[in-house]
Every structure is written in structure tokens, then in C-alpha cells.
Structure 1
Amino acid sequence: MHDQCLKLAKHGISACFLGSGQPDNRVEGKAMAGMYKIIYVCPETVLRLMEPLKKLAEKPGIALFAIDEVHCVSKWGHDFRPDYRKLSVLRQNFCSSKLKFLEHDIPLMALTATATLPVREDILKSLKMSGHTVVVLTSFFRPNLRFNLELHR
């Protein structure tokens, strides 16, 4: 998360990360005051920040929740983490039926490169994704990744 924030800063985009690795204890307050365009938050911290996040959703607003490495949600995934599984609270708490100031539910995007069919089904169920959820599958081929091998004899 820290590396992603540094890269965004180089492009003039204000970003921060919240979690146990954050050395500056003022960053969380600034984030909840809406001072960053992008906030990276570990699952454990999301669960702790439910009420401040609701206030942030009202003003200035939250455009999207993106869960990276979402295979960690699944009990069938190779990196299962219990706090990931609890992220269904995002779906439950950030919907227009709960927060009357919202015109629509805050979208939830789930991203992973390693989800078998049972893992994908478990993710959809665990995160309480709607029947209208679009699942996009792409190739593992990534043209931006390159490997160079040098043979030494």
C-alpha cells in the first residue's frame, strides 16, 4: 500500500494507507476528514473505522470500495484471512437503504488474479454481492510484466 501511495504522489494524486504499518498517527484523522483522494485500508482497519467511514461517505463522499486480493475472503482460497471474510459489512452499511443521504449504494469491486470457480462463488456469497454482479475474467497474460534470464556458464 505504501508503494502505491508513493507512486500516486509522483503523479499528483493524494493518497494514504491506513493500517498497522502506518507510522504517522495523524494520517487516519486526515483521511477521515476527506483530505485524500484515495485511501488504502487493510481489512482489520476497515472494520474498526465503520462509523468514521459513514461520515466520510456523507461528505466529501466515497466513490467506490475496491477489495484487492479478494481471494483472501474465501475459505477455499490459499490465503484465507478471517477479517477479509467480514468485509460484507461494506455491502451492509454503505447502501442507500441504510444511509439515507446516499442516492445509490456505494459500488464494491473485488479484484484477484487467483480465484477458481469455487473461490469466485464463495467470494460472491461472502461479500453479499447482488445477482446483478458482473464477473470479469481475463487472461493471466500481462504484457506489462517481463522476465529476463541470463545464462552464466
Structure 2
Amino acid sequence: MNEADFAALRGAILALPYVRMLGFDIAREDGVLRGQLPFAERLIGNPLVPALHGGVVAALLHFTAAAQVMREARMARLPRVFTCTIEYLASPDLRDSYASASIVTRTRRFANVRVSAWQPHSGKTIAAATMQFLTGQMD
């Protein structure tokens, strides 16, 4: 993926108001897309634990997986989620979080994606998901 394609992909993702409110961004590291979610107080779900909100973690997984689908399927807009199963594996600390995704299978209509999120300081995967996106028209 060249710089212009990456800039277009990043622009399509960052055009979403929810993405901007979260502070979500994508980056390339050694040719691999990585979702980035910087910590902010507004992202805390339960201040008694304290931990990031589960919906925020789900959004990190979703937007990272969607960016990977957009990249590989050469889509200009966010693909629609068809199915999604999220596994919350560890309570996320109040720190920056990251995610990466890989396409398991892709057809003309669907892409099956596996995505995981982590926080580098702990070395733990905080959540993972299997997602299926619509990449083409249904007959």
C-alpha cells in the first residue's frame, strides 16, 4: 500500500465522528496496519474498577478490522458488519491500547477477520474478535 492509498484509507476512517471522538487512529508498522486508541478519561467505563468501557474496546476492534478489510478489498468506505463475536479477555488498564487484524478468508461478498487488542505494558491481550464484513452486494 503506497502513501496515497494509506492516506485515503486513514481519511475515510477518520471522517467518522465517533472515531474522532474516541481519538482512534491507524498507523502502519512494517507494512502492518495497527489500530491505536490513546487513553482519555472520557473512555472509562467503570471508575470503581477502573477500566476502559467495553464498548470502547469493541470499537477499537471494529475499526481496526474494518480498516484491514478496506485495505485488502480496496474499498473506499467502511464495510458493514454482518456478524461479530467479541471475547473480553482481561480488564483493560487506563492506558493506550492497540489492535491488529488479519483476514482469514475473503470472497466477493464477505470477509472473515480475526482481530485482537492489547496494551503493551501488560503483555496481555485484552480482547479479541471474529468479525464478518459485507464486502459486496447481496443477490
TM-score, normalized by length of structure 2?
A: 0.29
Higher strand share: 2
Rg larger in structure:
1
TM-score, normalized by length of structure 1?
A: 0.27
Pick 1 or 2: higher relative contact order, CA cutoff 8 A, min separation 6: 2
